[in-house]
Structure 1
Amino acid sequence: MTALPTVLVVDDEQRSLESLQRILEDCFDVKTAVSAEEAEEILENEWVQVILCDQRMPNVSGVEFLKSVRGRWPDVVRMIISGYTDAEDIIRSINDAGIYQYVTKPWRPESLILTLKNAARLFELQRQNELLAIELKMSSERAENVIATRRVELKQHYRRDDGIIRSPDSPMNEVCARIARVAPYDISVLVTGESGTGKELVSRALHYNSLRWDKPFVVENCAAMPSELLESELFGHKRGAFTGAVEDHVGLFERADGGTVFLDEIGEVSPAFQVKLLRVLQEGEIRPVGRRQTRKVDIRVIAATNKDLEAEVRAGRFREDLYYRLSAVTIHVPALRDRRVDIPIISQTLLDKAQKQLGKRVKRLSAEAIACLTAYHWPGNVRELQNEIQQVLVMGVENEEIGADLLSSRILRAAPADEGGEIDLIGSLDGTLRERVESVEACIIRETLIRHRWNKSRAAKELGLSRVGLRSKLERYGLEKVEGLDAERRRKIAS
């Protein structure tokens, strides 16, 4: 059995320490310490992967303790937990002690466990990276050839099909054609669309079909951090530029020199940062925080947003000049509900990937399951579909077909009445009162039948109907089980 990752929790409050231990002990080998001295003794004798330390402790703060840990045990992933979220405090923590994550109180158990699992995974990747670094030193020429080969393969993948899964008659074909026309030209591109539609995928397709394909492609989510940290992350900073800046930091723009920078959620940046970003686009130069001199950078900027930036400009929340600099060309990614013809092939692709990741094999999605997925309106787009596919794979039986009964109830409520239509609980509430009630009734009956795998006796019992009464309603609403798909749809899914 694989040993659990070891997590050291440091907190001078005994009750808090016991609470954290109870929550974490199922997933980790938890060590506890009420002081920095006790924690150091554990570190000297135990193989610790992650430290979770409280900021407010007597004699020595959490940041000061983790700073000393960084010097003596640099491989240990360091995390701090605090009820204070001052931006300057966060910056100092990240720079002084090399903090991996700043956890704020009150924390949620499931979120904390996931963060710690990611930290433990980071520790393991660091160890693997050290071993790989040793091997690469011994075979640098071979490594260069491998990297070059992989870059070519990646370029060919995006050039062959843009990396975008779609059917032959997909609305995405127009988007991909636009990508092919725009990619070779060294101009800024604004990618718009709802969250989860695949804007980053479009940006990667633009990069790998451009003349910069063999240079870095870096991604930054502009909504993920305050403007102060975002400026430092993108432009870099000089040692001593602010509290906690103990060494020079090279920003992402400089690291991506010659390549492409993808700025996600660009509509979330502050007005002050918009001015600085505009200078980069206009002059092609950056000024690291704390420095007077500027540095030239050669980058292509691709930005993405789920907001209507033109409306933001009219409202005075987004600079007009920056908007026009970013949107030399605009590419809009349609929502998944507007490209339903792609849902079967995307679902099968996501199922294949999930099987590899989770190590579980099933035969396929049933025709009825695909019909239900196709009918749903997917407010979370491809990201929501991916989560649903992972869920049904986990719940499904090994080496068997995944049926519609495993789908979430919200999806079943939008299930199609037949292969050519659908019953939508929200969208069909038009007409007279009787027509609206019948629409809802038909939706409820179909959902119940699917959950019971079309066992009419069980469905009738749950609904409080007789079999004769249920049969009558099925005939009235034209509700029938989807037994299969036409040959053309089966061919698309299989391919």
Structure 2
Amino acid sequence: MNARPRAPLTVLVVDDELRSLETLRRTLEEDFTVFTAPSADEGEAIMGREFVHIVVSDQRMPGTSGVEFLRRVRSQWPETVRLILSGYTEAEDIISGINDAGIWQYLLKPWHPDQLLLTLKSAGELWRLQQENQRLSLELRDSPEQLVQRVASRRGKVCARSGFDRLTRAADSPLNGICALAQKIAGHELSVLVTGESGTGKELLARAIHYTSERADRPFVVENCGAMPDTLLEAELFGHKRGAFTGAHEDRIGLFQQADGGTLFLDEIGDTSPAFQVKLLRALQEGEVRPVGSPRSVPVDVRIIAATNRNLEADVASGRFRQDLYYRIAGITFHMPALRERPQDIPLIVADMFKKSALAGRRFTAEAMKCLVAHRWPGNVRELQNEVLRALALGDGDELGAGLFSSGVRQSGTLLNTASPAFDPEGATLKELLDQVEAQVINAALLRHNGNKTRVAEELGLTRVGLRMKLARLGLGGES
């Protein structure tokens, strides 16, 4: 039996800038029922007559602040998920919002539509989980055995959804060796460092390691350490006591304690300051954290998985990153390959996206798929996802052509038309199609660089040895 479709959740957006209000409404109205208000007073009036699941408020408004408005919302409608949208990043505002108004997310302007939608959908899931938690709490009083079975079943589903199968890959993908090794060490208490460009799936690998380990039934907690002031990052990770600093109106449990018994994923750890690295190193060495403003430390048991898009070894050599912290977090290191290094995975990633969309019957033409496989994807999987979503939104009919892509992706396909051998999809297997596209990509690069294989290797992210092997395998000639 098919599950009944969920009714759209309601979002209230409060912003005194009418143009911003209208842009937000247009961005969200396809996925949510959207109410808008140009002031906090009108926002409260709407909440008094409508059932609002999520409220997004600007921080700086005439007469009041977003934090003050959301503090009142928290008092009257505590179940509503609250978010701040602001162009300012003062630490006091952020801390006050988190503590006083119970704000779930502090979003910064300018915002990206895809990221905003993703955040609001996560907020909707949080609201639903809160309701489910309340319902289960009531059931627990009447039938604890049944609830235990249900929780175990759901935990198993979460583990299955978050395992290594989430990393979509072909039979000859470079990811296979990485996943095999990661699966092997998942059950051991090794700290893990994951490197690679943004958008390559570092967090997906971290989740897979956690949900394949013995810590799978404990929390997996994520913190992005990039572009966050030391004071705020310390309060987020270690927690703080009431009155520890301006805006600290109540005790807050840090993420280390929230992840106790589980895994703490520290993304963009390479962006932390040397001063904060000292505090983090001490926490990892001692297995305890001291909340800001507290006289005593709290023991914690967490597994650390860290990630960065920087070259930490070079940062260690230059003194930007502490060597002792590097060896503490890099018990084993995995490097996630860029999407351009695994073009064989692109058709599978696209097919998986089509399967999950409401328009599962659609497909790309051979020319469109050729463009996708040929593109270098500086934004990696995130950029690919955006292109596919763009084509789904703009295209009509079941077959989607290359004209629906952005100019950069279309140009990648155009460059292939100057190369040989010709692309012939008739009767070819997936591997043969990928070999044809790979041959055309290399030929196009050879043409651009007048046969200079060193430059071709650099452009394609290959070593000269790797390029030589591909030339031999694809029958494109030997080394000159």
Q: Secondary structure at the match of 2:221?
A: strand
Number of the residue aligned with 1:269: 272
Identity over aligned pairs, percent: 48
Tell me, in whole angstroms, the C-alpha distance in 1 between the residues paired with 2:200 and 2:237: 25
Deviates more, 1:273-282 or 1:337-346: 337-346
Q: Is residue 134 from structure 1 mapped to residue 99 from structure 2 by the alignment?
A: no
Tell me, in whole angstroms, the C-alpha distance in 1 between the residues paired with 2:160 and 2:300: 27
Q: Is residue 342 from structure 1 mapped to residue 361 from structure 2 by the alignment?
A: no
Q: CA deviation at 1:20?
A: 4.7
Letter in structure 1 aligned against 2:298: R
Q: 2:97 aligns with which of 93, 96, 115?
A: 93
Letter in structure 1 aligned against 2:393: V
Contact persistence 1:6–1:47 (CA under 8 A) = no
Deviates more, 1:148-157 or 1:237-246: 148-157
Letter in structure 2 aligned against 1:95: N
Instruction: Give 5+ residue unaligned stretches, structure 2.
Output: 1-6, 424-435, 452-480
Number of the residue aligned with 1:484: none
Q: 1:7 aligns with which of 9, 12, 15?
A: 12
Q: 1:52 aligns with which of 57, 67, 70?
A: 57
Contact persistence 1:77–1:120 (CA under 8 A) = no
TM-score in terms of structure 1 length: 0.73
Contact persistence 2:193–2:329 (CA under 8 A) = yes
Tell me, in whole angstroms, the C-alpha distance in 2 between the residues paired with 1:158 and 1:19: 39
Instruction: Give 5+ residue unaligned stretches, structure 1.
Output: 433-495
- Sort the Cα spacing of 1:10 and 1:181 in 2 relative to 1 into closer, same or farther, 3 A: closer
Number of the residue aligned with 1:404: 402
Number of the residue aligned with 2:361: 362
Tell me, in whole angstroms, the C-alpha distance in 1 between the residues paired with 2:23 and 2:162: 44
Q: CA deviation at 1:65?
A: 4.2
Q: CA deviation at 1:347?
A: 2.3
Number of the residue aligned with 1:430: 449
Letter in structure 2 aligned against 1:408: S
CA deviation string 1:220-267 (max 9, x = no partner): 111163222222222111122222222221122112111111111110
How many residue pairs align between the two structures? Answer: 415
Q: Is residue 68 from structure 1 mapped to residue 87 from structure 2 by the alignment?
A: no
Contact persistence 1:265–1:305 (CA under 8 A) = yes
Contact persistence 1:51–1:76 (CA under 8 A) = no
Letter in structure 2 aligned against 1:151: R
Q: 2:213 aligns with which of 192, 210, 214?
A: 210
Tell me, in whole angstroms, the C-alpha distance in 2 between the residues paired with 1:427 and 1:169: 25
Q: CA deviation at 1:124?
A: 7.8
Tell me, in whole angstroms, the C-alpha distance in 2 between the residues paired with 1:152 and 1:101: 28
CA deviation string 1:267-293 (max 9, x = no partner): 011222211111122111111111121
- Sort the Cα spacing of 1:327 and 1:363 in 2 relative to 1 into closer, same or farther, 3 A: same
Letter in structure 1 aligned against 2:146: R
Letter in structure 2 aligned against 1:422: Q
Tell me, in whole angstroms, the C-alpha distance in 1 between the residues paired with 2:68 and 2:212: 47
Tell me, in whole angstroms, the C-alpha distance in 1 between the residues paired with 2:60 and 2:218: 40
Tell me, in whole angstroms, the C-alpha distance in 2 between the residues paired with 1:403 and 1:206: 38
CA deviation string 1:124-153 (max 9, x = no partner): 852663255224421543332222123334
Q: CA deviation at 1:5?
A: 3.8
TM-score in terms of structure 2 length: 0.76
Contact persistence 2:9–2:124 (CA under 8 A) = no
Taking only aligned residues, the RMSD between alpha carbons, in angstroms, comes to 3.3
Q: 2:250 aligns with which of 230, 242, 247?
A: 247
Letter in structure 1 aligned against 2:411: R
Tell me, in whole angstroms, the C-alpha distance in 1 between the residues paired with 2:37 and 2:394: 36
Contact persistence 1:375–1:414 (CA under 8 A) = yes
Considering only CA atoms, is the larger Rg found in Structure 1 or Structure 2? 1
